[in-house]
Structure 1
């Protein structure tokens, strides 16, 4: 039997409820205790599941349920306190898309820098450059040689999405990014995502949009208070989440 492309076992991560303040020099000299609360909570705990190669999974849950935290742990940008999240294959992370772009560099320089960090050679980036810019649209194309910080937020997202979705990584992690941009650009994003899935890529999608979840995912995972409450067909998982949300609202 083939090993899962994403393997999560007994995953847990613990956070402080408030950030500890730094002690002043006077407090350190007098050895006063830090008065900031040190209480912790488990943002996620006892999370276990597998995702098979080519599977499309949607992650469902309310705000604060741990969805984005789980995605970041799968991406490897956060480390667990318990258990592990293992990915067999390279990852294309559609998470905080513009986070790796530098404002003082031009958009062109950022494309080469970000793509290089994802393992592409200069020759490979050269071959894909026109495709990336064409997808991002004429406004972006006209501004490729100006500092990235001068781009509007919409233009920044366009070039970042265009870049990440041209990568060859077999695993795609998506955190709400399909909700950005105008209607025409969103439809281009939808089509690009569908093409990626038809090409056999594995998708792990976090979204509050039932439309997006049903369009792209066949299976759903439902997180509630940091626990995995349900794992099954996406329609059934969404129905359970909505029923729980209605019950909470009525109580």
Structure 2
């Protein structure tokens, strides 16, 4: 990972990610001996291409676009769980990822064991996990289920547990991908308050949502992705207005 000036929390330069719609398909001799940009296969497409932007510490960025336009892929690149085919992503500091939120939990382990495992995998020291354990369980509203195997939790309980763990991490950058679309209204409000707390501490927020009200609440700036390209980088109100003009009401 390239180091960047501390002026930026995130720097994305000429980013490109290429996927395949199917596993089958071969290369031609022309492909093999051409440049990297020529070596494509049948069914390949660019999920993101030529995307560049910077994020300063403390900014709250909303990523807008239709389904399948590269929003979640971009968050995975920032989270370093995916590598680009072109360009680079540089991150100054650690990230607390609320993406694919229930991933990383083990079905046969209890809630108690999963809290220790998940927090530890994110780098939280064992002593700190113990100190914050009660707060995590209280936030997740799982005091009566700490010794229940994770696989027996409802989907809503799993989301509450994951959010409770990740939102306790001290990383300076928070990545949020649609997590607020899941769960009941009361828990969403609790999540809203927790994100407000993190932003008031100067954290950087990178936020993907289809909910226009959430985007306006948390974000001052927006990135509009369409067909794998960064169409607009502007204040969130301008980005939402452009998206509405292109595709109709709401960031769907």
The two structures share one fold, judged by TM-score above 0.5: yes
Q: TM-score with structure 2 length normalisation? A: 0.89
SS in 1 for 2:232: strand
Partner residue, 2:8 = 4
* Alignment of 1:115 onto 2:119: yes
Paired with 2:90 and 2:24, the residues of 1 have a C-alpha distance of 31
Local SS of the residue matching 1:134: helix
Instruction: Provide the residue aligned with 2:35 in structure 1.
Output: none
Q: 1:55 aligns with which of 59, 71, 78?
A: 59
Q: How is 1:235-250 mapped onto 2 (pairs within 5 angstroms)?
A: 235-246=237-248
Q: Which has a greater percent of helix?
A: 1
The alpha-carbon deviation at position 96 of structure 1 amounts to 1.1
State the aligned residue count. 230
Q: Does residue 85 in structure 1 map to residue 127 in structure 2? A: no
Aligned to 2:73: 69
Unaligned segments of structure 1, at least 5 residues: 22-36
5+ residue gaps, structure 2, are: 26-40
Q: C-alpha separation between the residues in 2 aligned to 1:122 and 1:208? A: 36
Whole-Å Cα distance in 2 between the matches of residues 206 and 39 of structure 1?
Answer: 27
Counterpart CA distance in 1 for 2:77 and 2:24 is 23
Q: How far apart, CA to CA, are the structure 2 residues paired with 1:2 and 1:144? A: 40
Q: Partners of 1:131 and 1:100 in 2: how far apart?
A: 20
2:139 maps to which of 128, 135, 141: 135
For 2:100, which of 96, 104, 118 is the aligned residue? 96
Aligned-pair CA distance for 1:165: 0.2
- Once residues 183 and 6 of structure 2 are traced to their aligned partners in structure 1, the CA distance between those partners, rounded to angstroms, is 38
The answer for the alignment partner of 2:28 in structure 1 is none
Instruction: Report which of the two structures shows the higher radius of gyration computed on alpha carbons.
Output: 1
Structure-2 residue corresponding to 1:160: 162
1:176 is aligned, of 168, 178, 191, to 178
Q: Contact 2:6 / 2:92 at 8 angstroms: preserved in 1?
A: no
Q: 1:228 aligns with which of 221, 230, 234?
A: 230
Which runs of structure 1 show a deviation greater than 2 angstroms over 4 or more consecutive aligned residues? none
Q: Do the aligned residues in 1 keep the contact of 2:111 with 2:149 (CA within 8 Å)? A: yes
